[in-house]
Chain A
Amino acid sequence: MAQRPLSPHLQIWKWGPHMLVSILHRVTGDGMALAGLGILLWWLGALASGPEAYASFAGWVWPDLGALEWSGAAIIASLVKILLKLVLIGLSWAFFSHMCSGLRHFVLDIGAGYELDTNKFWSVASPVIGIVLTAGFWALLLLK
């Protein structure tokens, strides 16, 4: 590719919420595509393989933190289990955040919501609503 001058890029612009929500949309979407679909297939594969495989899956992605072992080689496995639990919580946030910024995209797609104040408001509101929905989801799931 020819080496030509590039137009001004990220580093020279003053950051605004519309830039944040745009990047969050890409990060949460591609994060779910790469990590979320993998875990979804792991879950379905475990279900299709029977109770033992399912118990093994659950032990990895949703470990009982109090029962983790902290000696020898088990330390690595325990760290991976904690990481997977965090990934699962992160994926739930990624879904709700991506859903809210995606709904914002639908509004922008029909040509609405470009007025500066409106655009700024929904750029801030989308990720905030995403966090609220994530908290509500876990509250409903864990408190039932």
Chain B
Amino acid sequence: MGNGTSIGRVRGLGSSHEGAHHWLLQRFTAVGNLLLVLWFVASLIMLPDLGFASVSDYLAKPVPATAMVLLIISTFWHARLGLQVLAEDYVHDAGNKFALLLLLNLAAIGGGAFGIFCIVRLALGGAL
């Protein structure tokens, strides 16, 4: 193991055992998105109209509410993984990359939490 170039410093250490984990999670959440967003698209088409009463009644039911919570988790997770790759590909400064990934994690978890809270509030009747 040398201490010159970046490839020289890691040569001989073997795999970091992290790449495959990210790759697999991207696929797992992709399958989740495929099922859940297609359910969402079908719901938009099947609902009689997209007014407040129709949509809020529908999303307050147990199965649609559960599916919508899962959709939020799957899409935000998938988006977090995808945007991480974008940052890793185009942000080359280590400090900026760290800051961006930090913000990305906060935004993904914060946004997902807000989405789930809104669905729970609808389902438990807080808005009515």
Contact = CB atoms under 8 A, between A and B. Distances in A.
A33 interface: yes
Contacts of A19: none
Given A37-B76, A55-B52, A109-B27, A44 B119 contact: yes
Contacts of A137: 41, 45
Contacts of A5: none
B5 interface: yes
Looking at chain A's contact residues, is the secondary structure mostly helix, strand, loop, or mixed?
Answer: helix
Nearest to A98: B33
Contacts of A40: 72, 75, 115
Nearest to A109: B27
A26 B122 contact: no
B114 interface: yes
B55 interface: yes
B82 A29 contact: yes
A45 B69 CA distance: 13
Interface in A65-113: 95, 99, 102-103, 105-106, 109
A73 to B, nearest CB: 28
B55 A47 contact: yes
Q: Which of under 10, 10 to 19, 20 to 34, or 35 or more describes the interface residues of B?
A: 20 to 34
Of listed A29, A38, A137, residue having the most chain B CB within 10 A = A29
Contacts of A116: none
Interface residues of A, number: 33
Contacts of A10: none
Interface string B43-73: 0110000101101100100000000100010
Interface string A23-35: 0001001101110
B109 interface: no
B111 A37 contact: yes
B34 A30 contact: no
Interface string B104-128: 0000000100110111011000110
B123 to A, nearest CB: 10
Contacts of B121: 48
A48 B82 contact: no
A144 B45 contact: yes
Contact of A99 (B5, B34, B59, B114): B34
B30 interface: yes
Interface string A4-43: 0000000000000000000000100110111001101100
Interface of B: 5, 27, 30, 34, 37, 41, 44-45, 50, 52-53, 55-56, 59, 68, 72, 75-76, 79, 82-83, 86, 92-93, 111, 114-115, 117-119, 121-122, 126-127
